Structure 1
């Protein structure tokens, strides 16, 4: 068939894509698969871009400069107000650590690489809060990278052998789908965010652009496409392997709608309804604005947002989308604003450099949020060494080795101050002893204790100090079988493992077991990110202390103390005693914070624990003959 210059049903299809995405980010029940609307957008983008390029190639008027200018006019001007507005909001609301994450995403977005940043560590469904305002920019980065590469492919094939265009795109689609199916379960973040595993969705749209002239509208097939899209939204969820085989539902459905919907059938007439077309016209602005609004609102509210707030945010997103379309998108695309290529380039390049520079400065803490002053005043900064899991000083001897998980790392500066320049061996979330560990599917955790024994054997320290969260489920290192938690069966398996560890350590080395440090978490949901994070909530009280009976790991600490009491080579350090005097665990005291997040101690609090260790308890007993 001959395609019309404008297909209103495509704008209606954009509305079908954007509405579930918005409701998904709004956490509206029943829209857990709404994020698949992005996959619908990818197919539409592949179709439209291929249609434009192939049409201009056929007419002999395609140029890369003209193509990139049109893409810049379509994409960049609406993005910059979002970046600048979110930067101001993040500066006003976020904690210092969250602002640094935001700054990273700001720079990455400005440089068309947000998906690379998020693929490193940002699970789309459990994203770190600093990334959330711009987490949706990953899809924009994928499309921008597609726009850079795909025209070059089409132009090259057009010049040398245009009959290969269809087969080449088919290979990309089939190969990309196979890659996505293989990669999604093994490397979920890479598969979710990166172009190679998303290219098949864009290629599916490209194939539609090539095939549409050879098909006729078909109402039943177009309705089947809408049904497949709807089924995708209903059946796909956070547990789905994305972008795996289940994504064929929205992708295949979108392809059917593009190929077979028309004004002459019911699917085309449905999608061409004015409300849907109107939403589709402003869908880009709606996509850009809705996520930051919800991210900042959810950052300031403990629990689910009230219904009226969600409705107001959706309305605000729609209003901003309409303003974006009327004041920016339409005028720039129609060359009523930024008429010349030079003017467009100057504005876009300047805005890009400013956003990237602010992001880089924020990452290196040259620009800090408003909350940073309070953080410094209260000594609540994240310790500079905290992300350093390994610290082994040069020299022949070590005064101590501090061993454990991130709760060992929190004590490292204080132990260095008291005992000298010792070593730190930490593995986040890991409890590791000979034959027992708390993370059975992570080989690094199982090897953690071997690294301790090797270092102790080599450097002969008088002390090994073991500190961590002890209330973990334990597993047999050989079989992976669960052994229960430490408090189960009085911790017999762990204490047998500690006995084995002692037999492998140098005989003059004494072991200090540091009991559970209470956390700010125990004070309630509002304290999950710590006292500084709690300050951002509009509906929560941030306590200065809580009853010691609520602290985690008290049973485990009692077991550790009893084990140390019957073993002359083991010393127990009660972390809770100096932090929970008079039956209350302190979070803030005399305008000083004891926690820099919801779980880890500040340097000032760690000093309290370390300085409570009786020096006489560290006297090394004479080894038994």
Structure 2
């Protein structure tokens, strides 16, 4: 069994810097020009192998020499990472504050806190798609890798120290077992929990573990150039065969990671691969790879934010050059002086400086997330009632006691009306689920949708509240323009924009009525006109449209483009012909005969691409005849 006393020596190897250059070049090109290199993001997997190799070689060498200390190790990691990271976070925070809309600044603020606390991967694993990142998360989406590595730095040295003291001969076997277990977990999780498999340490540990095994098993005495070349070929194959749809970090990621292993073990200076990777320019790019990695994503993300339709190729190329330049500046004037102890020589000042450097962006992010700090666009958004309403993310509100005048039912397009309806008619309940159309035996999502169970439960909740609380008015608001599925079926059965789908929806509404108390009145609220119906530049709302430098954003758009016009007309006709139903058209409050408005009487109608502001919801609520809410109508009639 291999002894820990003979680990791979950690001499400086320019070819490892060259391998870093391959990794950073692929990542940057993959982010800047994804059509050119869709699998470029797999460069981070190479970085993980390199990190596992270098960190384990350091730990193993110091353990064998009897001079390893956790405090010293972690201080070196702080010197390596925190100064460059903190500068990037400070500058990016200022730029995001100056550029982003309030809604996106909240997203950015969450990621800023997470990045400053080395937990962005934990945040993103909840609900942030790496390949379809919301604009607010995009500037710091790349910091997920730092979260993985910092968590590795916290856990792995403790494990190595414990194994060394317990049974040093078992170190290689234990690391190999952890690596295999992590790989098996990644393969199992990748199709079942894609975000967790992509972002979290347990499913990425195998890549770091491969690098660790490279360090624990002595390097071959006679490196083989053909094996090193095979390693480069595997890396190239990985970039070509892996894409955004590849389950990560699953079996296909063996290509770049095993390729990196072969390069580390065989691409020494006597081999052609080693000489190529060790070329001064290639190795130099590897030396500045950390700073380049930190800076490239904020530059690209904020650049894209300021240019509708995405930056031109020439502009992206220019930003790549800027990122490399900032990486070189970071290496020379930030990273090296701190690592070589030219500044912050002692541990105590280093720790105080690191805490301060990360605490400030963490505090700013917390303030932004809480709404205490608005971006530069915030005051205008406040004046125009363009901020996200405080209750927008609460799907169910059922007051525990007291008379209820109505139950508001549907999806997030129902929830947007709740405060305005409560102001107009008095206390009511809200039963909703974002993205959910739940009628009798009819849904708008397949059963594997993550909120499918919550959506399926809505009709039963509605019936229970009506029965238990004696409410007889249901206000049903919805994004009605949907693709439909039978409950529990993964097969689409039609769209409400087509005759068959519309007929299925209206039939489900009739059946739904029979599930409720006999004297229940259902007030159908037609499809909101929405902002995104006006075109792609309004996908995130009028405020977002104003951010790019190359767009014009008029105050309205042709009413003929309003979303849901066809299904709304059918709902109106259905309600007029069906006892127990009534219909309200929000377009009459938000549109004229020829135009729908983004800005009306100085306030916005939508805070994002489709959801109404409180001002717009009040306009719609005021158009509802009080007679449709009988109890509230009687109460209003008795007021002096």
TM range, smaller chain:
over 0.9
Is residue 501 of structure 1 aligned with residue 507 of structure 2? no
Cα distance per residue 1:159-186 (max 9 Å; x no partner): 2210000000000110000000011111
Q: Matched residues in 1 for 2:497 and 2:137: separation?
A: 37
Is residue 517 of structure 1 aligned with residue 528 of structure 2? yes
* SS of the residue 2:190 aligns to: helix
Q: Matched residues in 1 for 2:336 and 2:488: separation?
A: 64
Tell me what 1:623 maps to: none
Mapping of residues 173-572 of structure 1, within 5 Å: 173-214=179-220, 216-441=222-447, 442-489=452-499, 491-572=502-583
Cα distance per residue 1:275-327 (max 9 Å; x no partner): 11010000000000000111111111111211221111111101111110110
Q: Is the 8 A contact 1:215 1:259 kept in 2?
A: no
State which of 584, 587, 591 in structure 2 corresponds to 1:573. Answer: 584
Flag the 1:132–1:309 CA change in 2: closer, same or farther, 3 A: same
* SS of the residue 1:213 aligns to: coil
State which of 107, 115, 121 in structure 1 corresponds to 2:121. Answer: 115
Task: Compute the TM-score of the two structures, normalised by the length of structure 1.
Answer: 0.97
Q: Matched residues in 2 for 1:122 and 1:489: separation?
A: 36
Tell me what 1:138 maps to: 144
Q: Is the 8 A contact 2:466 2:472 kept in 1?
A: no
1:65 is displaced (CA, Å) by: 1.7
* SS of the residue 2:409 aligns to: strand
Question: Which ranges of 4 or more aligned residues in structure 1 deviate by more than 6 Å?
Answer: none
Q: Is the 8 A contact 2:413 2:478 kept in 1?
A: yes
Q: Matched residues in 2 for 1:365 and 1:11: separation?
A: 43
Q: Matched residues in 1 for 2:221 and 2:196: separation?
A: 36
Cα distance per residue 1:569-610 (max 9 Å; x no partner): 100111111211131001012321111111011111111112
Q: Matched residues in 2 for 1:72 and 1:202: separation?
A: 19
* SS of the residue 1:444 aligns to: helix
Unpaired runs of 5+ residues, structure 2, are 1-6, 632-640
Q: Matched residues in 1 for 2:31 and 2:424: separation?
A: 49
Q: Matched residues in 1 for 2:19 and 2:370: separation?
A: 42
Q: Matched residues in 1 for 2:371 and 2:310: separation?
A: 32
Q: Is the 8 A contact 1:438 1:475 kept in 2?
A: yes
Q: Matched residues in 2 for 1:65 and 1:478: separation?
A: 55
Q: Is the 8 A contact 2:10 2:54 kept in 1?
A: no
Q: Is the 8 A contact 2:403 2:427 kept in 1?
A: no
Q: Matched residues in 2 for 1:281 and 1:57: separation?
A: 27
Q: Is the 8 A contact 2:8 2:57 kept in 1?
A: no
Is residue 59 of structure 1 aligned with residue 65 of structure 2? yes
Mapping of residues 12-161 of structure 1, within 5 Å: 12-161=18-167
* SS of the residue 1:317 aligns to: helix
Q: Matched residues in 2 for 1:509 and 1:92: separation?
A: 51
Flag the 1:332–1:479 CA change in 2: closer, same or farther, 3 A: closer
1:462 is displaced (CA, Å) by: 2.1
Is residue 588 of structure 1 aligned with residue 599 of structure 2? yes
Task: Compute the TM-score of the two structures, normalised by the length of structure 2.
Answer: 0.95
Q: Matched residues in 1 for 2:601 and 2:499: separation?
A: 42
Cα distance per residue 1:533-562 (max 9 Å; x no partner): 112111111120001001111110111011
Q: Matched residues in 2 for 1:481 and 1:15: separation?
A: 47
Q: Is the 8 A contact 1:302 1:525 kept in 2?
A: no
Cα distance per residue 1:473-527 (max 9 Å; x no partner): 1111144432201243352222221111111111121001111110111121111
Q: Is the 8 A contact 1:580 1:586 kept in 2?
A: yes
Q: Is the 8 A contact 2:100 2:375 kept in 1?
A: yes
* SS of the residue 1:403 aligns to: strand
Q: Matched residues in 2 for 1:508 and 1:31: separation?
A: 62
Q: Matched residues in 1 for 2:630 and 2:251: separation?
A: 63
1:10 is displaced (CA, Å) by: 0.1
Q: Matched residues in 1 for 2:162 and 2:342: separation?
A: 33
